[in-house]
Every structure is written in structure tokens, then in C-alpha cells.
Amino acid sequence: MHLTLVAILYIPIGVAIHSCTQKDVVALTFDDGPFYYTDPLLDLLAGADMKATFFVNGKNWANIQDYRSTIIRMVEEGHQVASHTYGHPNLANLDEANVKLEMTKLEDEFIKIMGKFPIYMRPPFLSYNSQTLKVLGELGYHVIDTDIDTLDWQHKEPHAVGQSLGLFSTRLWNGGSIVLMHDIHRNTVMNLVPLVIKQLLQSGKRGEFCSYCG
């Protein structure tokens, strides 16, 4: 049975969601972990009293079972844990059976750690098609895209942090955004996120997770 970790506002199933309807909310999302920098990121978020959604893989940069304590910490500290597939494939290139397998394999890993699994997910590479959404809908998943991609994976050096911050800043004042970052990159966690938090605090908007985007 599908169990959601957080369910606050109505969000449709099997439909790609690109932004939040709550204009005072900015959904902070992090892909591809857990990894070495995820716990320091949790420290930063705790210090700012902000929440985030973590779209995690079963086996990508690391094996999820090696970061059991990090996943449990996310839940205990009030963050949203979500799926990013087991192995980070391009779902648009897979047939229905393999899309389902990518999701159910990760569900099994979540159950080993938490006794349940989330029903929010983000397709790797933000790549999906009508078949992908059909399968995800049948599995009961809310599909989260983004309207602010910081491209932090392209700007992994400290001198380039301004480029990612600029992408964030240009859309921040619109409100109701879903921001994409990656907790696998040191530059993101140590340099970009503190600046993102600072701008959020100055704007008066709340850094929250995707369940607030109904």
C-alpha cells in the first residue's frame, strides 16, 4: 500500500507539477542523494528553520542503505523524502515495465529503512513522456518538475556560484516556485544554499517542501 510521508494540500497524481500555488512558499528540492554533503545540508536547513524535499536514489552516487541514518534524520527533522528512481535512468527511454521496476525497487529500499515509502517523485533529468506519467499515475505518484533550475551541476566551482544564484534570484520574487538543487555537490551545499537561505529570509517567503505546492 502506498503511504505518503507528508500530505497537506491536494496535488494531482500522474501529472507533472512545475510550481506552487502558494505564493508565499518556495519549495526547496534536492536531487541525487543521499551523499556526503547531505548531513551538512540538513544542519544548514535546521539552523534556518526551513524544510526541503529530498528526491533520493537507491543507487546513484551512493547506496541508500549506507545512508540509513541520514534518511531517518530527514524524516525526524520534518523534511519530505521522495523518490528519484532506484538507479537514475532516463525514464522516457524505458518501457512501462522498467519504469515500474525503477520505482518499486526503490520502494523496497524505503520500506527497509522507514517501513513505508513516499508517493512524491521527480524523474531523473526531468525527462518523461505520456507513457511515463501513465505508469507513475497508476502507481499513485505525484510527479514534481521545477520552474527554477539552478543548474548547480554545471556550476560546481565556488567562482561559479553566482550563476546558480542568479537563476534563483530572477524567479524568487514571483513566489510559488519549486527550486532544483543537488545535495551531492559541495559547492551547492557550502556556498549556494547559504545564499539561497539568505535571500529567502530577506524576501519573507518560506522554504518548504513540495507538499505545500497544492
Among candidate residues 84, 142, 182, 185, the one labeled active-site is 182
Residue 182 annotated to the active site:
yes
* CA separation, residue 17 to residues 4, 6, 10 (Å): 17, 16, 12
b/e burial code for range 132-143 (CB count within 10 A of at least 16 → b):
bbebbeebebbb
Element (H, E) at 20: none
Using an 8 Å Cβ cutoff, are 155 and 5 in contact?
no
Using an 8 Å Cβ cutoff, are 70 and 57 in contact?
no
CA pair distance 6, 3, nearest whole angstrom: 9
CA pair distance 34, 10, nearest whole angstrom: 27
φ, ψ of residue 113 in degrees (nearest 5): -90, -45
- Strand intervals (E) in 50-108: 53-56, 80-83
Among candidate residues 31, 32, 149, 152, the one labeled active-site is 31
Cα Rg of the chain (Å, integer): 16
Q: Which residues are catalytic?
A: 31, 182
